[in-house]
Amino acid sequence: MSYEKVLQAQRFVIGTKQTVKALKEGNVQELIVANDAEPKVTAKIVNEALLLNVPVLYVESMKKLGKACGIEVGAAAVAIIR
């Protein structure tokens, strides 16, 4: 499951703004998006990832994704950095 990918990742970026920046820089290996995040929040990063042929994985919960990243709040998106 994708939560384990986050836990095993050496480097990752949390949040939509930082993820868009990392995508534009070409540093993203995989994008993980929470299904319960607002689509208007995640649409831009998902579209950017698809344009750049970056794999997009979906997980069920923002809260669990945030916890996998070691933060106390939910995370809409996490980019695993190369």
Q: How many residues are present in the chain?
A: 82
**Which two structure tokens, joined as six digits, stand for 67?**
């916890």
Convert the pLDDT of each residue in 19-65 to its tens digit.
999 999 999 999 999 999 999 989 999 999 999 999 999 999 999 99
Confidence label for 81 from pLDDT (cuts 50, 70 and 90): very high
Does residue 1 register a pLDDT over 70?
no
pTM listed for this prediction: 0.88
pLDDT at position 79 over 70: yes
Distance CA 79, CA 9 (A): 10
Residue 9: predicted pLDDT = 77
CB crowding 5-31: b at 16 or more within 10 Å, else e: bbeebeebbbbbeebbebbeeeebebb
Confidence (pLDDT) at 50: 94
Q: Would you call 73 helix, strand, or coil by DSSP?
A: coil
Closest CA to 3 of 82, 78, 81: 78
